[in-house]
Amino acid sequence: MNPLEELDHGIQQRLGDTVFGLRELIDALIIAVVARGHALLEGPPGLGKTLLAKTLATALAGRFTRVQGTADLMPADIIGTHVFDEASRKFTLHPGPVFTDVLLVDEINRASPKTQSALLQAMEERQVSLDRQTYRLPPAFLVIATQNPHEFEGTFPLPESQLDRFMMRIEVAYPSGEDERHVLEHYGTIASAGDAAVRTSVGTTIDPQAIEAARDCADRVHVSNEILDYILALARASREHAQIALGLSTRGAIALLRTARVAAGMRGADFVTPDDVKRVTPWVVPHRLALTPEALLEAVQGRDLAATLLERVAVPR
C-alpha cells in the first residue's frame, strides 16, 4: 500500500464514525488536500456539508477557523485590519480568520461578491496584501467552502474568478435510504443534539508528514504525452463548444492533471489513465464553464456539458 492509499484509508477510517455514505465525497476532498487545492461543497441545507468539512479539518493537524457567510460580512472580517496600538504608537495587524491552516467558509454565497473577492489572493498566492504590506499565509493553507444552490433566497452567485480558484466543486446529494437511516439512528437522540463537538471527534489526527509523503507519491505518478494531449484536447473542446461562453482555463487544465495524478495514486497505480481523468472531471470542470445566455435559458447544466466533452474527445489508446 503506497502513502496515498494509506492516507485515504486513514482519513476514511477517522471520518467513518461521523459522516455516513459519503465515501466518494471524502475521496474527492482527500484529492483536493493532496493536490494543494481548495474545495467547494454544494448542496441543499441540512445534508451534512458543514459537518463533513469540520470533521475533515479536525482530522488534519493544524489550526482551524470558521467564517459564516452573511450579507453584512466585510473583507476585513476575513483578512483582518490594522489597529493603532497606544503603547507602541504604531499600527499593528489584528489578523483575521484567514491566517490559519484550514479555513471553513460556511455558506460562502451568502456573502456579497465584494467580500468573496477578499479570498482571491489568499486562495491563489497563499498570501494577503493589506495597507501596502504583504503577509504570508501558512504553507498548508486550505479553504473548504460550502454553498447552497444559487436559486435559494439570500444567495449571491460566485464570480467566475472565485470559482476558478476552487480546484474542485463537489455536489452533495440526498443520501440513500440505508445511509439516511444510519444517520437517524446515530444522531436521532436528544442528547446528540446538545453537543456538536462530539460529532467532529476523530480521535488521532493525520500526521502532516503522511500528507507530504502522499504528495511525493502523487508527483511520482507518471503522466504520458498522450494523457497531456487528452487533457489539452478537453480544454480546447470546452473553448470551442457552442453552448460555452468561457471554457476551461489553463488553471483548470492544471487542476485536472494534478487531481488525475492523485486519483491514480489512490488506486495504487504508478501512471495516469484516461479513466483517472474521467473520474475527476465532474469535480474539476463543470463549475469552470460559463454558459451562453441561450444555454442558460434552456436550463443546461455544467455537469451535462462536461459529460458531453468526455464523449466528444477521442480517448487515447
Considering the domain boundaries, does residue 125 fall inside one? yes
Give yes or no for residue 257 having a pLDDT over 60.
yes
Contacts of 297 by beta carbon, 8 Å cutoff, 6+ apart: none
User: Is residue 186 located within the same domain as residue 265?
Assistant: no
Give yes or no for residue 81 having a pLDDT over 60.
yes
Considering the domain boundaries, does residue 317 fall inside one? no
From CA 106, how far away is CA 93, in angstroms rounded?
Answer: 25
Contacts of 68 by beta carbon, 8 Å cutoff, 6+ apart: 106, 107
Q: What is the pLDDT of residues 141-183, one digit of tens each?
A: 899 998 877 656 667 878 888 889 999 999 888 888 888 888 8
Q: Let me know how long the chain is.
A: 317
Considering the domain boundaries, does residue 250 fall inside one? yes
Give yes or no for residue 194 having a pLDDT over 90.
no
User: Is residue 173 located within the same domain as residue 229?
Assistant: no
Considering the domain boundaries, does residue 213 fall inside one? no
**pLDDT value for 284:** 95
Domain end marker among 196, 212, 229: 196
Q: Place 191 in a pLDDT band, splitting at 50, 70 and 90.
A: low
Give yes or no for residue 40 having a pLDDT over 80.
yes
**pLDDT value for 198:** 46
Domain end marker among 162, 196, 230: 196
Q: Are 80 and 135 in contact (CB under 8 A)?
A: no
Domain count, the chain: 2
CATH number, domain containing residue 238: 1.10.8.80
Give yes or no for residue 6 having a pLDDT over 60.
yes
**pLDDT value for 307:** 93
CATH number, domain containing residue 190: 3.40.50.300
Residues of the domain holding 138:
3-196
Percent of the chain with pLDDT over 70: 93
User: Is residue 250 located within the same domain as residue 135?
Assistant: no
Contacts of 88 by beta carbon, 8 Å cutoff, 6+ apart: none
Q: Are 144 and 95 in contact (CB under 8 A)?
A: no
**pLDDT value for 47:** 82
Give yes or no for residue 98 having a pLDDT over 80.
yes
From CA 53, how far away is CA 153, in angstroms rounded?
Answer: 23
**pLDDT value for 195:** 52
In the chain, which ranges are continuous DSSP H helix? 3-15, 23-34, 49-59, 76-79, 113-116, 120-125, 160-164, 177-187, 190-193, 196-199, 208-219, 225-240, 250-266, 274-284, 293-297, 302-312
Give yes or no for residue 197 having a pLDDT over 60.
no
